Amino acid sequence: MQPLGSIYIEDTGNTDINRITPDRKNVEIFLKWRSFLLNILIIGNGQCGNRILDSINRHALGGGKSCGKLARFYSTQRFKSHVETLALNTAINDLKEMKFTKAKDRIHIEHLHGVGANRNVGKQVFEEKKEIIMRQIEDRGNFDMAFVITSASGGTGSSFTPLLVKEMKKRYNYPVYCLVVLPFREEGTLYLQNTAFSIQEIRQNGADGIILADNQYLKNIGGSIQEAYDGINDMIAERILFLLDALDSEMMMVTDLGDFQTVMSGGAGLATMGFFRADKEIPIKTAIQNSLSPSSLLFSTDVYEEASRAMIVIKGDRKYLSIDDISTEIEKLSGAVGHVFKGIIVRSGEYPQVLSVLTLETAREMENLYSVAVQAINQEKAKKQRVEEGSKMEKAFSQIEGMEPEY
């Protein structure tokens, strides 16, 4: 136990600022200590963003799938940093589905029951409700950085997020990163065109980086559709929480918020994350290699061909942390991608865990997606033109003009 005035912090790697109870004489000491922590805002935008945020909150409340839905009422979130969460949606039913996010953090932006995948409607709603949304952010304090989590393909998330980023960058000085989930390529023309325009607008409106996750990975998770969605939500939540833990931890070799910002500023403004958690004793070089493998990444990329910068954070018991093996793997990666930041967190009794953050100079999979999106946009345009020119159905209807039914 480490004393801080009369506040005691258990140095187990699971320090939870919400569980530290200062006595009244030492409130100032407590607040001063807390001021050294990162202040982080996580916004889940639209149905997809809400579900991922709920998964983050479930893990922060203690855990796995057995974590009860009443946990949000009687448990405290075990974030290493000071974290505020906010769920935004025009569809109230999506907010009602959230089991681990407190009611005060679920904000219904009133507009019927959603915007129906129509980004133009979503943009209009955002502009009308902008001050309500921004007040919710301002009421939660000042931050060192923010994450906005969204799908690129739907209605609320894909339309709100670019405008939200623009407004946040105009009003605040902290970096805003977006974690954007891409759709199945066969989900339909509307979703594909929404994705293309949403990502383009997020980049144009000043996001400090876009972390890509791809629903194509659902095909590899297996099980029912719901299990698949839960699986990718958990994958994203696990990586976000590990990153937050790393940015606010004491390390043998340090990575911090400044390093993360430098990594995210590289490349084409796009990034992805890989993660590997060993469940047995394995060499640390194997854990690092696994974190960079296709099965561990959130987005399909050839790391050694397409990445431009990287951050590797390694956690585990000291006996697994061979500096020679770590240096060999980092040198191999830096030879391909350029600069690699590395951090090492010693956690007694833990098997190796490795998080990889990679910014991308090129992304063939994204190029392919935009090619498919162009086809989708042209299909929608052709449909609209046919309707405007008069369809066969209109000709059919016109046959009874001037006639009355006979009974």
Q: Per the annotation, does 49 bind a ligand?
A: yes
Q: Per the annotation, does 10 bind a ligand?
A: no
Q: Per the annotation, does 385 bind a ligand?
A: no
Would you state the pLDDT for residue 2? Answer: 37
Assigned token pair, 277: 């958690």
Q: Per the annotation, does 142 bind a ligand?
A: no
Q: Per the annotation, does 19 bind a ligand?
A: no
With beta carbons less than 8 A apart as the criterion, state whether 298 and 182 touch: no
Assigned token pair, 67: 């974590």
Per-residue pLDDT of the chain (407 residues; tens, 9 = 90+): 333 333 333 334 544 555 555 555 555 554 554 556 899 999 999 999 999 999 999 999 876 555 555 555 545 666 777 999 999 999 999 999 999 999 999 999 988 677 888 999 999 999 999 999 999 999 999 999 999 999 999 889 999 999 999 999 999 999 999 999 999 888 888 999 999 999 999 999 999 999 999 987 767 766 677 777 788 899 999 999 999 999 887 766 667 889 999 999 999 999 999 999 999 999 999 999 999 999 899 999 999 999 999 999 999 999 999 999 999 999 999 999 999 999 999 999 999 999 999 999 999 999 999 999 999 899 888 888 877 776 677 777 888 888 888 88
**Domains of the chain by start residue, with CATH:** 37-247 (3.40.50.1440), 269-360 (3.30.1330.20)
Q: Per the annotation, does 50 bind a ligand?
A: yes
With beta carbons less than 8 A apart as the criterion, state whether 38 and 249 touch: no
Sequence-ordered strand ranges (E) for 47-196: 82-89, 106-108, 145-151, 176-182
Q: Per the annotation, does 167 bind a ligand?
A: no
CA-to-CA distance for 360 and 342, rounded, in angstroms? 18
Q: Which long-range CB contacts under 8 A does 380-385 form with residues at least 24 apart?
A: 380/189, 380/190, 380/193
Would you state the pLDDT for residue 221? Answer: 66
Of 96, 105, 117, 116, which is closest to residue 77 (Cα–Cα)? 105
Residue 347 contacts by C-beta under 8 Å, 6 or more apart in sequence? Answer: 13, 315, 316, 317
Would you state the pLDDT for residue 117? Answer: 85
Would you state the pLDDT for residue 142? Answer: 93
At residue 384, what is the residue type? K
Would you state the pLDDT for residue 227? Answer: 76
**Residue 372 backbone zone (phi > 0: left; psi -120 to 50: alpha; other: beta):** alpha
CA-to-CA distance for 67 and 31, rounded, in angstroms? 30
Please state the pTM of the whole predicted model. 0.86
Q: Per the annotation, does 72 bind a ligand?
A: no
Q: Per the annotation, does 286 bind a ligand?
A: no
In terms of DSSP bridges, do strands 176-182 and 145-151 run parallel, antiparallel, or are they unpaired? parallel
